[in-house]
Structure 1
Amino acid sequence: MTAVRDADRTPNGDRIRRRRLRRRMALLGASGLLLTAPYAAWPGAAPAATRPAGADDTAADAAIPPELQRYYQQKLQWVPCPDPSFQCTEVTVPLDYAHPDAGDLLLAASRKKATGDGARIGSLFVNPGGPGISAIDSLARGGADLFSPSVRASYDLVAMDPRGVQYSTPVNCKINALTPPSFEQRANACARNAGQLLPHVGTLDAARDMDVLRALMGDDSLHYVGVSYGTYLGATYADLFPTRVGRMVLDGVVDPTLDGYQNLLQTTAGYQVAWESFATDCAARTDCPLGHSVTEISRRLVTLLHSLDRIPLRQGKDIAITGSDLLSAVRNALRSANWELLRAALQGVPAGDTTALQQLIGASEIPFSNAVDAFYAIGCLSSPFDSRFTSAEAEAALPQFLRTSPLFGAFDVAGLGQCTHWPVPATQPAQAVTAPGAAPIMIVGTTRDPDTPYHWAKALASQLSSSRLLTYDADGHGAYQRGSTCVDTAVDRYLTQGQLPPAGKVCT
């Protein structure tokens, strides 16, 4: 780390930093890499037109207004999903809740029926994060199996792809995946090919959609588990419909008071903390591939990154590993706390073996067809993900990002421009979520979470009118079903019995 700072103070330091920034910006824009917060990672005083119809600041869950009754009274038709252990359906919702006569959208949902013979608590809505990731695919591809038998016995597990995502009416910018565009090119393509939908895929509308489905499932309250961006969606729901909140778990929390700049800067700091935690552990091992002090390990990683940027490592005729590839793999390993695989990658790459590295890179590949389009379309409407900075402004911010993280700062600062050219302004500015009158919400925060730093969980817990924070003293993104019996037991007890953990509870 010291070596990086010293190099940036040389007479050519400014020029070096700017070349590096332009290269990172080109790579980010061309590859479609996402802002790291809540997957970046992952609100404010919304204009009156964006507030839920029939709601105001003093009665957020008033009676359903007449113009929305037909949506709340539709009949769901459930059919077997491709995986017959799930049932699938479609839900009709208004394109614009402020003007329901402007047209409708179709949203896809799935459920896995409760396994118990006894009393069923209700439906448990699950959102894995994103924005842009399919909740339906996530639940079907193993997400349902993460829940304990007691939870599975008590709830139907329900996933709904938010508007704009995958199986629901999707944002389709018609971009050639073989030639990934810059931020501006993506924005222009989305405006051209999905312009009518873009103003209507924000988190506020997705939360209203969940309330429609809640009612159609026959539940008086929304029971919910949200991770990463899913916590932002859940908190938004709680603020709009506080008295309809049931048992809600928010794990890996987004702070809704942050703007895009602070969100990205604080995530950068989170990855630096996570890297130093890994490096400290590695330094204590006799087989650490990069050295035996945090400073030495960090310095040698930076040297390796620069070397790969100058001369990529060739693996056959179609694979070239660059420094950016290695840095992305490091981030994936820190997010998943897969330190063993990261040590293997850092040992293999200098010797020309990329087996472990490619496993880490592959872990971030999302097989969903419109995930990147949906990420921008949803994220650029919400303040924590909405970064609209020019190249010059990003360059001016570079020193602060480098001070925050000598390792990740130059790469991350390019994300400041991800919404600069987006054709639709944000509709959900930065503001506290209080959810007055809501049932107690369970907040779970991991102390060295790189994607959603722990102090974000503390911040949301302090904003909500009623909440309980469970702390997981560990590494990686998220806590539930990540190996802590303490965490899993506390969450399961809350979901099945309504019992919150003791105040100040810390799990390891």
Structure 2
Amino acid sequence: MSAVRARALAALGLVAVLATTLSACFFAPAPMPSSSPDVSGVSAELLPYYGQQLDWQRCENDRFDCATVTAPRDWADPSAGALDVAIIRQRATAGERVGSLLVNPGGPGVSGYDFVRDASAQLVPPDVAQHYDVIGFDPRGVGRSSAVSCTDAAGLDAFLYGIPDGTRGSAQWDESASQEAERFADACEANSDGLLPYISTADAARDMDLIRAVLGDTTLNYLGYSWGTALGARYADLFPQRVGRMVLDGAMDPSVPGSLVGAEQAIGFEKSLRAFFADCGDREDCPYAGSVDDKLADLGALLSRVDRRPVPAEDGRRVGADTLLTGIVSTLYSPGSWVLLRQALADVENGDPTTILASADAYNERIDGVYVSNSTEAFTAYNCMDYPQDSAELQQQAQDRVAAEAPVTAPYWFGVDVCASWPVPPTGVRAPVSAPGAAPILVIGTTGDPATPYVWAQSLAAQLESGVLITRVGEGHTGYNQGNTCVDDAVDAYLVDGTAPTSDLRCG
């Protein structure tokens, strides 16, 4: 959480794996793919795009195939130029091929290409992989696709780790943070080759339909995590008759305004902090003693202290409250990272910010001073286009909720909104989706998910005409391949055989 990143839609880390079965189900047929592009119902102006033949090349040490899909820059005016969407394919390993399975890991801004390349063995279990060509792609604006570009590493350091002048809440602090937001937004406009008006979830969803078609599939099979659920839900609402087997894990609610998205996440992360401190208990390496409330109070005191007196790091950066909170948030995505958080907090209490800074760097995809992706720039571009500016009343409502329900996080959660300086007005709307007539869509929510709170999964499943809610009872972000065989069995059965639960499923 930076002083100038007020809209906190958090990115997803890689997931782990496990698998099994479920009864009481109905069947969703999945037509076999064609070897030629699917151009059925395509208008003449889109035919050059939908009819393109992919030039697949072996890549990544010959373990995968890679290709580039050419998409309209402006879907409303396909004659106004094109952009590139990079895709990667892990071929079906054996058995009867169902088709292609597109995968998105979240963000917005996380590379689906890298996700499949680096985690294909953990992404889907073998009985799913043998039936599908697993397809990773970098959405428009991201990574190897035609990408948003804003500034160099020093500029990103200033944007993500910089500490505004003055005292938090003062006119000087607000002015300093606002100037940094404006510098970043201006740099994005100057360096992104005119892409900014076309970087939205709706545009990326239309790109997914194009990918489906050029792969020769008549329906879209899809596994989306976190923001990838917003992408999948938007696709389903735009193209309900083309939905194949769709799984949306760590669901977002497309009807929630931006300010309330941030508020729900702040509350979710504070609940996860409570779970972390309850687990911490009387462990020898727990940085604080006493009750959960006592430990939260100690953490609040630490945040306040480093906000007043940032802790210097060996590389010359300083860790203030915003960077400390980013590092904390990064470790709350999975209980497996709680041991790291215990160490990081103890170290900061002793004046050493190395571990917490490494956690913040991982969140921001910064390695040895180099940003290895454009995730921050793409993240900002998508959010600024997807979320209309909320009224002052709604923003105040969000801040009041966070102050009441997440008091430790509240002073550092809402900073200056960089989207207020964005050079392009937003085009997105916040509204329910229904996808009338779509095949069953599995929506997975985890009761203790901090980044995509469980209530969003409940809401999305209810909005979708064919939504089926799968609940994982537990902590952490997302539910599939997290060691819960009940969840994994249900998803695997749907992806492999097309069998979906006939009613909502709760997995303890």
TM over 0.5: yes
Is 1:114 aligned to residue 86 of structure 2? no
Name which of 353, 358, 375 aligns with 1:371.
375
How far 1:38 sits from its partner (Å)? 4.2
Is 1:87 aligned to residue 49 of structure 2? no
Is 1:177 aligned to residue 181 of structure 2? no
Q: What are structure 2's unaligned runs of at least 5 residues?
A: 14-38, 160-179, 366-370
Aligned to 1:339: 338
Aligned to 1:482: 482
Return the letter of the residue paired with 1:125: L
Aligned 8 A contact 2:86 2:137 in 1: yes
Aligned 8 A contact 1:107 1:168 in 2: yes
Alignment CA distance shift 1:153-1:262 (3 Å): same
Aligned to 2:406: 405
The secondary structure found in structure 1 opposite 2:142 is: coil
Cα distance in structure 1, aligned partners of 2:76 and 2:7: 30
How far 1:147 sits from its partner (Å)? 1.2
Is 1:64 aligned to residue 24 of structure 2? no
Cα distance in structure 1, aligned partners of 2:437 and 2:315: 61
Residues 298-317 of structure 1 aligned to structure 2 (within 5 Å): 298-316=296-314
Name which of 137, 140, 146 aligns with 1:160.
137
Aligned to 1:280: 278
Residues 8-19 of structure 1 aligned to structure 2 (within 5 Å): none
Return the letter of the residue paired with 1:163: R
Return the letter of the residue paired with 2:192: A
Q: What are structure 1's unaligned runs of at least 5 residues?
A: 1-23, 42-60
Cα distance in structure 2, aligned partners of 1:413 and 1:495: 40
Cα distance in structure 1, aligned partners of 2:149 and 2:234: 25
Higher relative contact order (CA 8 A, sep 6+): 2
What's the % identity of the aligned pairs? 41
Aligned to 2:194: 196
How far 1:433 sits from its partner (Å)? 0.6
Aligned to 2:415: 414
Is 1:500 aligned to residue 500 of structure 2? yes
Return the letter of the residue paired with 1:155: Y
Cα distance in structure 2, aligned partners of 1:231 and 1:432: 13
Name which of 208, 221, 234 aligns with 1:236.
234
Question: What TM-score does the superposition give when structure 1 sets the normalisation length?
Answer: 0.83
Aligned 8 A contact 1:480 1:487 in 2: yes
How far 1:330 sits from its partner (Å)? 1.6
Cα distance in structure 2, aligned partners of 1:249 and 1:107: 22
How far 1:387 sits from its partner (Å)? 4.8
Return the letter of the residue paired with 2:195: L
Paired residues, number = 456
Name which of 379, 384, 397 aligns with 1:380.
384
Q: Which has the higher helix share?
A: 1
The secondary structure found in structure 1 opposite 2:46 is: helix
- Superposed CA deviations along residues 397-446 of structure 1, whole A, max 9, x for unmatched, are 6444312311111222116x131111222212011110001000000001
The secondary structure found in structure 2 opposite 1:291 is: coil
Cα distance in structure 2, aligned partners of 1:317 and 1:131: 29
Aligned 8 A contact 2:54 2:67 in 1: yes
Aligned 8 A contact 1:39 1:131 in 2: yes
Return the letter of the residue paired with 1:346: L
Residues 222-233 of structure 1 aligned to structure 2 (within 5 Å): 222-233=220-231
The secondary structure found in structure 2 opposite 1:427 is: coil
Alignment CA distance shift 1:284-1:495 (3 Å): farther
How far 1:229 sits from its partner (Å)? 0.6
- Superposed CA deviations along residues 80-133 of structure 1, whole A, max 9, x for unmatched, are 2234211111111111122111111121111010111x2100000000011111
Aligned to 2:78: 100
How far 1:185 sits from its partner (Å)? 1.6
Return the letter of the residue paired with 1:89: A
Aligned 8 A contact 1:129 1:230 in 2: yes
Cα distance in structure 2, aligned partners of 1:290 and 1:467: 43
RMSD: 2.6
